Amino acid sequence: MAFRYGSGMNDAWKALLETDSEIAELIVAEERRERDKIRLIPSENYVSHAVLAATGSILTNKYSEGYPGRRYYEGQQLIDPIEEMATSRARELFGAEHANVQPYSGTPCNLAVYLAFLQPGDTVMGIELSHGGHLSHGHNVSATGIWFRPVRYGVSRETGLIDFDEARDVAKKERPKLIWAGGTALPRTIDFEAFAEIAKEVDAIFAADIAHIAGLIAGGAHPSPIPFADVVTTTTHKTLRGPRGAMFMSKSEHANKMDRAVFPGLQGGPHNHTTAGIAVALKEASQPEFKDYAKQTVANAKVLAEELMARGFDLVSGGTDNHLILIDLEGKGVTGKPAAKALDRAGIELNFNTVPFDPRKPADPSGIRIGTPAVTSRGMREPEMKKIAEWMDRVVAAPENEDSIAATAAEIAEFCRAFPPPGISVAD
Ligand SMILES: *Cc1c(COP(=O)(O)O)cnc(C)c1O
């Protein structure tokens, strides 16, 4: 085999190589790719070896339909404490009354909110997709927009900030039963209290989807929706730096309804290996180092934003308060998709993205979206953000200059060696 795997290959890896070397080699190649590139996708991160070990464990063997103490299968002596540890850590970390870590991922977790509180055809209000919303907040290609009646609010054309006057007007006129806050491309602090007030005025359930910012909230780098929201949903694999999965937290009064919506409403057996990985990630997120990571993620994003603006990049809302930056490339004479592809060839991984009021289609929109959680997890700080801005500027200025792109990719691979990411074991 043409690679060394960490400090010594363990039994699991030896077995994988013997059983299926094709998959093993692809995984190791992906590991190298994740190590040698600058990962600016704001919804991605690097989990620790500890999270990987729990997630890759024999807990995948066990069926556990139900909840701790109320299961439909025997043999839960060790699964119950694992799930209870995960939920009690979630409650403690976020100060929530109730938590449930069984949802398979962010979208199914959000579906549970609909099942708990809405009937088909009821009205749901969320932020417009092209203004930074998520498909599961009532977009027309999602079940949530097909089975329910979506209405939308957006950001102001002038400021790029959420327009609360518009949101209130839409809510009063359309009377949604459910109001979502949160999204996938919102670079500014979310005022959860303002949403809660609107929801109260129209007697709607208020759900805060903190998938992107859960780690910042846990680390004290973004205000929490817990005091204001009926339900808080989140993925566990973005800034929170856990395994792929999701959880919700709620007020006690909604606990039963929401639990029943997840199981038996939408799911069968929980993924116990993921539950254990979430428990480990929540323990990590309660340590002092995690606060440093959350603060540094924001500090890095602010420096990266300033450095990009100094080079003539047009940032939606003029900057960032969190881990995320949304860039309108119109003034740079290139559209999002070719820019994203050129940057990827150069070793900077990000995604093309619509910007608010985008005249272009989502398949090749005007913008790109970046974020700093993953680079912060591997120890990059302000000086490294300056270099990243320089490289981005170089590539965006000449997205078809393959010689320059290849030279940048080599520089970046070398640069990345000084910042080994958590959880990466490949040694050559
Ligand atoms: C990522 C994300 C989701 C969905 O997560 P999946 O696990 O991909 O289904 C939902 N809401 C928001 C705001 C997100 O950013």
Residue 33 domain flag: no
pLDDT tens-digit map of 406-423: 999 999 999 999 999 999
pLDDT tens-digit map of 51-82: 999 999 999 999 999 999 999 999 999 999 99
- DSSP state letter for 244: S
Q: Kindly report the average pLDDT of the chain as a whole number.
A: 96
Query: How many Å lie between the centroid of ligand 1 and the Cα of residue 383?
Result: 31
pLDDT score at 426: 84
Examine the pLDDT at 9 and tell me if it is beyond 80.
Answer: no
The domain that holds 139 is classified in CATH as 3.40.640.10
The domain that holds 371 is classified in CATH as 3.90.1150.10
* Phi/psi of residue 154, nearest 5 degrees: -150, -165
Q: Which of 25, 65, 84, 166 is catalytic?
A: 65
Domain boundary among 231, 261, 285: 285
Overall domain count for the chain:
2
Assess whether 276 and 306 both reside in one domain: no
- DSSP string of 222-237? S--STTT-SEEEEESS
How would you classify the pairing of strands 231-235 and 178-181? unpaired
Q: Is 235 a catalytic residue?
A: yes
Residue type, 302: K
pLDDT score at 6: 55
Residue 23 domain flag: no
Assess whether 234 and 378 both reside in one domain: no
Task: Identify which of 136, 137, 222, 322 to mutate to test ligand 1's pocket (most ligand atoms within 8 A of the CB).
Answer: 136
Task: Identify which of 109, 162, 184, 271 to mutate to test ligand 1's pocket (most ligand atoms within 8 A of the CB).
Answer: 184
Assess whether 302 and 337 both reside in one domain: yes
Q: What is the domain extent for residue 304? A: 296-416
Assess whether 364 and 391 both reside in one domain: yes
- Which atom, in ligand 1's list, is nearest to the CA of 133? 13
Query: How many Å lie between the centroid of ligand 1 and the Cα of residue 184?
Result: 7
Measured by CA distance, the residue closest to atom 6 of ligand 1 is 106
pLDDT score at 13: 84
Residue spans of beta strands (DSSP E) within 15-100: 38-39, 66-67, 70-71, 98-100
Segment 341-363 shows an average pLDDT of 96
Global pTM?
Answer: 0.96
Q: Which of 31, 44, 163, 209 is catalytic?
A: 209
Q: Is 297 a catalytic residue?
A: no
Contact 229, 207 (CB under 8 A): yes
pLDDT tens-digit map of 144-173: 999 999 999 999 999 999 999 999 999 999
Segment 10-21 shows an average pLDDT of 88
pLDDT score at 4: 57
